Structure 1
């Protein structure tokens, strides 16, 4: 089937649906395309399928404002009409934030995307009782002054610097094996991997109340922005996972007792052009590399 238009969309996967699997996410998009009457092109053969290509799969439990998908259409529709139709039928928690027609010779998302950024929110319900982290005598709860909250923030900032200065960051990964296709893994393989080559940037989040400890209904929290290179294929770097980034910060004394990862949001996916990292929505634009801001 001839492709008349190719539309790239950036979607939001909200917090309310962060626990659905990638397969369920793909099915939701496919159903929405049919319900919206999108003139999607189909592959040929005995089992034709809609020609929709997705970016890197998102792990269960992570929200996102940077999910990308390419839609190949059998008729010209236009990005505006496409977005309007899709958003009218997509389930709650899933929406298209922007879309645009793109050249048909652009590389597929699975090949073009080389990096991702994440916002990690660390909850600190009460670190005041931790003697190692307690600041000046008489200080209030975290975030109220130069007491335990300010002290913890200083330690976290120092841990971030140490992590970025480290030559290697070794973490242990486990993988359960399923001999004979059984449902229960009979043995667990463990191996050490170095995630430092994948970690392109790490910083305390700025804006939205995250310049320091921010008060929430659950206590206090602090945000971290991470930029990671995505691995893939033999000989590639091991992609740093958000929970592993928290682990190496803990190894460098940046995580106090009682602090834990509260939420993760993927905030960006990037392609590389002329040595710069750009949004997949960009043409040969002039967006500077996100690495320069980390």
Structure 2
């Protein structure tokens, strides 16, 4: 009877939650919240939940999306609050809207790019800037990654729409503080998907940049990429029918 689209975040230590772990936690949260979830037909009914482009394990995110089907209409703001309260802190439900009855396309149809923030501790911003410039100057940056089909080689350069070291980079306060380069990255969605770790592999290929400690990666947004380089939230098209506030 009703479809609700949600945006949620993975923060702090909960960024290490795998997609499967989150799916189990979310189904439990639906039961605790008393949501009238709809189920598929057949011998093994499953709750009607569809996920859109989940972030890799170990990556934080402020922009994860899913859609649920309900047997009865609910107020999206109340559902958002109930689900948020039922999930562990760090798995935070930020927004909810009612999906249009007449279609309007799936969430996946509205996502063609993601914006990422990559923190590189122990890397001087100027060194990172030179590596980024070398990456952008290349016509092609071939990297390897193990996939379900085996080891694949693909171009990490072409899907990159924006790549820069931010002004926030530098050493934190304190005389002995270590430097930290912070990178702003926008990647178009392609097949196979190019992820931030692939782009970091590309920096190693073109400039020999090898972070001494694991980088910290956060997805800031995902949606449709405009000609001006902005990313449109996939829930925005539904807000006229079901405006709601997040926290």
Give the alignment's TM-score, normalised by structure 1. Answer: 0.71
Partner secondary structure for residue 283 of structure 1: helix
Distance 1:25 1:117 in 2: 22
Q: String of CA shifts for 1:128-164, please: whole Å, max 9, x gaps.
A: xxxxxxxxxxxxxxxxxxxxxxxx4233223222312
5+ residue gaps, structure 2: 240-247
Partner secondary structure for residue 170 of structure 2: coil
Structure number with greater CO (CA < 8 Å, separation at least 6) is: 2
CA contact (8 A) 2:98 2:238 kept: no
Distance 1:46 1:259 in 2: 51
Matched, 1:224 2:177: no
In the TM superposition, residue 284 of structure 1 has moved relative to its aligned partner by 8.2
Distance 2:177 2:58 in 1: 19
The equivalent residue for 2:200 is 246
Q: Which has the larger radius of gyration?
A: 1
The equivalent residue for 1:181 is none
In the TM superposition, residue 28 of structure 1 has moved relative to its aligned partner by 0.8
Alignment of 1:45-84 (within 5 A): 45-84=42-81
Q: Are the structure 2 counterparts of residues 93 and 274 from structure 1 closer, same or farther at C-alpha, using a change threshold of 3 Å? A: same
Partner secondary structure for residue 30 of structure 1: helix
Matched, 1:282 2:236: yes
Partner secondary structure for residue 88 of structure 1: helix
In the TM superposition, residue 277 of structure 1 has moved relative to its aligned partner by 4.3
In the TM superposition, residue 32 of structure 1 has moved relative to its aligned partner by 0.4
Matched, 1:268 2:227: no
5+ residue gaps, structure 1: 128-151, 178-188, 233-237, 286-294
Give the alignment's TM-score, normalised by structure 2. Answer: 0.83
Matched, 1:192 2:158: no
In the TM superposition, residue 213 of structure 1 has moved relative to its aligned partner by 3.6
Q: Would you identify which runs of 4 or more consecutive aligned residues in structure 1 move more than 6 Å?
A: 273-276
Partner secondary structure for residue 144 of structure 2: strand
The equivalent residue for 2:127 is 155
The equivalent residue for 1:202 is 163
CA contact (8 A) 1:155 1:253 kept: no
The equivalent residue for 2:113 is 115
Alignment of 1:157-172 (within 5 A): 157-172=129-144
Find 1:34's aligned residue among 27, 31, 34: 31
In the TM superposition, residue 274 of structure 1 has moved relative to its aligned partner by 9.3
The equivalent residue for 2:172 is 214
In the TM superposition, residue 254 of structure 1 has moved relative to its aligned partner by 7.1
CA contact (8 A) 1:168 1:196 kept: yes
Partner secondary structure for residue 75 of structure 1: coil
Distance 1:246 1:33 in 2: 37
Partner secondary structure for residue 100 of structure 1: strand
What is the Cα-based RMSD across aligned positions, in Å? Answer: 2.8
Matched, 1:8 2:5: yes
In the TM superposition, residue 6 of structure 1 has moved relative to its aligned partner by 1.9
